[in-house]
Amino acid sequence: MDEAEFMRGRVYGAEHEDAGPRPGRSYAELVGGPLDGLLLDVTGRPGHALREGVALPTELGRYGTGGRALYRPRPADPRRFDWQGDMP
């Protein structure tokens, strides 16, 4: 199993031992970029914050440690967030 396959279906930011989705939570799938295939827990996040998108800290992006991957919801499917690029 390669790294991308291993990461698919895991929750962004969750501990490795407990990285699967949990019942009663809402998730969006991250599509493209360094976090492709991970799930983002969006439970309780305000709607306006989700529409604006998220900047998620990651060491996997262009800027390494301290960098962020930018994701925005798809207009036609807000349960999928598309990668917009990386920022320092």
Note the pLDDT of residue 17. Answer: 65
Question: How much is the pTM?
Answer: 0.81
Q: Print the domain residue range for 34.
A: 3-87
Note the pLDDT of residue 46. Answer: 82
Q: What is the distance between the alpha carbons of residues 59 and 5, in angstroms, rounded to a whole number?
A: 18
How many domains does the structure of the chain reveal? 1
pLDDT, tens digit only, all 88 positions of the chain: 344 444 557 888 777 666 678 888 999 999 999 999 999 999 988 877 778 899 999 988 777 788 999 999 999 998 999 999 998 8
Note the pLDDT of residue 56. Answer: 94
